[in-house]
Each structure stands twice: as C-alpha cells, then as structure tokens.
Chains A and B, each alone.
Chain A
Amino acid sequence: GAVVSQHPSWVICKSGTSVKIECRSLDFQATTMFWYRQFPKQSLMLMATSNEGSKATYEQGVEKDKFLINHASLTLSTLTVTSAHPEDSSFYICSGWYGSNGGELFFGEGSRLTVL
C-alpha cells in the first residue's frame, strides 16, 4: 500500500500560539489529501479536502481561518491551527487518496495536539 507520513506525532503548545502539522505522501503523488479530527472514543470527522494548487474545501462548521490548509506540492499538505485554544486539543489525522480506478485512503500516523 501507499505510505503517508505525518509530523509531529505529539505537540504541546500554549494557548494563543499557532501549530503546524505536516502530511507527506512518501511513495505516491497525492493531488488530494484529507484532514480529519478525532476526539477520544469518537469517530473521525472530516475537516477539509486539500487539493494541490488550489484552496482547500472545508466541511460545514469548520473555521477556515482557524484551520489553515496549504497543499503546495503533490506530496505535502500542511494544517496550521492558528491561535490555538484548549478546545482545539484533539487528534488530527491526514490521509492521501491513491489509486487509478477509484481510489483508496491511506492515513498518516496522526498528530496529537494538546493546548495548555
């Protein structure tokens, strides 16, 4: 299968600071990546679709100015949580969509954000 790497795995920051999470496709070109958020013991909730070279598409209820997504190359998408607050603490997971006929999602390791 295809490999997606996410960094950092863990991050702790102070309230009011910004945090950047990177998502890389290591062995394929991902024109489309997806960012999910997961709270403890809950399912994954799609936050946004990241398309290379264009603006991200955000799901209803997701603040695009709070969660900045940049997909500047075919192998890298970044999520920046701006002016983070404790309620932004969560597990953030990215995925790349890979496949010719249809496609399959492959996930990074996830990033656990704790805002103090």
Chain B
Amino acid sequence: GIQVEQSPPDLILQEGANSTLRCNFSDSVNNLQWFHQNPWGQLINLFYIPSGTKQNGRLSATTVATERYSLLYISSSQTTDSGVYFCAVEIRAGKSTFGDGTTLTVKP
C-alpha cells in the first residue's frame, strides 16, 4: 500500500518562531489533507490541498503532487498551535492513509 512519511516526528519551538512540516507519499493520490489533533483528540481540518498553495492566516500549505510531497508552514507560532499535525492522503473515494504525525510543542 501507499506509504506516508512525515517529518520531523517531534518539533519544539519558542513562541513566535516559524516552522515547516513535511509529508512525503509514495504514490499518486487523489487528494491530501492536513489536520491538527488537539489535546482532546479532536481532528481539526486545516487544509484540503491536492495541489498548489493555500493560506489561512498564519498557516499555509503547498502540495507538489508530481514530486509527491506536501509542506505545512506555521508562522509566528503560538502555544495554542501545540499538538499533533497529520497529513492524510486519499487513495480513492475518501479512503485515506495517515502519516505518523508531527508532534509540535510551542513554549511560551
């Protein structure tokens, strides 16, 4: 099956710093999503981004489908950004495979 690798696995930042999270996938995919899992386990939709670049406030994402990777940028990080960030790639009809996640800790 398709392999989804996220890096780095863990990231510790000081508040205000910028960061880049990466998601590599091993095969062509229909779509790609980025999620933030909060401490209570809820998955928050960040981006639906099969290709191209999108921005939402301090967050932006870029997917280069031909090279099979996606990047999530977090600028001016805040403590509330802490949590686990997952990318999920859709193989077909919504069926998706998740990466192992990046655990982000933002210190005040």
Contacts and interface: CB of A to CB of B under 8 A. Distances in A.
Interface in A26-70: 32, 34, 36, 38, 42-46, 49
B25 interface: no
The majority secondary structure among interface residues of chain A is strand
Contacts of A24: none
Interface residues of B, number: 23
Contacts of B45: 1, 104-107
A44 B31 CA distance: 17
A109 B93 contact: no
Interface string A59-102: 00000000000000000000000000000000101010100001
Interface in B7-50: 30-31, 33, 35, 40-43, 45, 48, 50
Contacts of B101: 43
Interface string B71-83: 0000000000000
